[in-house]
Amino acid sequence: MAATASHDAEVDALLDTLFRVHHYDFRAYSRVSLRRRLAAAVERLGYADLAALHAHVARDGTVFNRLLGFLTVQVSEMFRDPHYFLALRESVVPLLSTYPSLRVWVAGCSSGEEAYSLAILLHEEGLLERTMIYATDINPVALEKAAAGIYPVEAMRAYTTNYQQAGGKASLSDYYTAAYDNAVMSRPMRERITFADHSLATDTVFAEVHLVSCRNVLIYFDAKLQAHALGLFADALCRRGFLGLGARESVRFTAGGDRFADFAREDRIFRKVA
């Protein structure tokens, strides 16, 4: 779809409807990728143009649910960017272990792979028993998958390399039971994670946490929404708490970024300044 002024006005109108009727706020998402994803939705859902999609989404919740699948990118992996998890294990865990109890917030958790990776890591470092992991997202289908903790066994085999490179101390298969083509995450891992609906665009902070891991989410936001999300993280974090971002994300050049200092710069781990 071309980025003409009239097309931008149509996109604005659709996003206003999504906010007004369905209470999902995509108005401050990066426009380039929104346009691309809306174009894919128009084509794959079989509409003539954006106006036709708009007309249907305004009155049909089913169409909205399908559109949500296009507007939110669900790609995830266990131990994605293994070096990030290795840095958490080697540099952050020793500091977290000084707290008697821990709370971790995985913001934008998609179908749960990042949250389960952290549960496994914290288990292996002897911290899971005293940790509560809150994993949040805006996509209800992804949250349902996450809570079920069921993944294709083939994918788990692929994640094994990531797990090993992330300093895994056992075998990834110790944390799931294979049933036909599926792998079901083990109960001790599932028990420590609460999956919940929460939007970084419209909701407020719900707990004080020691670590926020929000990977590959800010990249979809515009500068203003990125700053808003960083503000939420700073407010949620305890004194000198940790923030982990995705490989292409940073607190630098973002308003409010000065509430954080580099901790493991290459691995995009930051620490709230005192």
Ligand X SMILES: C[S@@+](CC[C@H](N)C(=O)[O-])C[C@H]1O[C@@H](n2cnc3c(N)ncnc32)[C@H](O)[C@@H]1O
Report the nearest approach of ligand X to the CB of residue 31 (Å). Answer: 15
Which one of 33, 74, 161, 177 is in contact with ligand X (CB under 6 A)? 74
Which one of 88, 217, 236, 264 is in contact with ligand X (CB under 6 A)? 217
Q: Are 203 and 235 in contact (CB under 8 A)?
A: no
List for the chain the helix, strand, coil content (%; round to 5).
50, 20, 30
Within a 13 Å sphere around the CA of 46, how many CA atoms are in the beta-carbon half? Answer: 1
Which one of 76, 131, 162, 254 is in contact with ligand X (CB under 6 A)? 76
**Should residue 15 be labelled a site residue for ligand X when binding is judged by CB under 6 A?**
no
**Should residue 138 be labelled a site residue for ligand X when binding is judged by CB under 6 A?**
yes
Report the nearest approach of ligand X to the CB of residue 111 (Å). Answer: 7
Q: Which is nearer to ligand X, 191 or 203 (CB)?
A: 203
Contacts 24+ apart (CB under 8 A), 251-255: 254/223, 254/226, 254/227, 254/230, 255/223, 255/224, 255/227, 255/230
Pair of tokens at residue 83: 């070096």
Selected range binding ligand X among 84-92, 95-103, 110-118, 231-239, rule: CB under 6 A: 110-118
How far apart are the C-alpha atoms of 96 and 103, rounded to whole Å? 10
132 to 71, 210, 212: CA distances (angstroms): 29, 10, 12
**Nearest CA among 169, 6, 187 for reference residue 85:** 169
Selected range binding ligand X among 46-54, 133-141, 175-183, 256-264, rule: CB under 6 A: 133-141
Report the nearest approach of ligand X to the CB of residue 104 (Å). Answer: 13
Selected range binding ligand X among 11-19, 178-186, 210-218, 235-243, rule: CB under 6 A: 210-218
**Should residue 80 be labelled a site residue for ligand X when binding is judged by CB under 6 A?**
yes
**Nearest CA among 93, 152, 153, 155 for reference residue 120:** 93
- Kindly state the number of chain residues that form the binding site for ligand X, as judged by CB under 6 A: 25
Which one of 14, 67, 72, 104 is in contact with ligand X (CB under 6 A)? 72
Which one of 2, 5, 48, 75 is in contact with ligand X (CB under 6 A)? 75
Give 11's contacts (C-beta < 8 A, 6+ positions apart). 31, 34, 35, 38, 50
The single-letter code of the amino acid at 260 is F
152 by DSSP, 3-state: which? strand
Q: Which is nearer to ligand X, 55 or 141 (CB)?
A: 141
Q: Which is nearer to ligand X, 55 or 65 (CB)?
A: 65
Which parts of this chain interact with ligand X (CB under 6 A)?
A: 72-77, 80, 107-110, 113-114, 137-139, 142, 199-201, 215-217, 220, 246
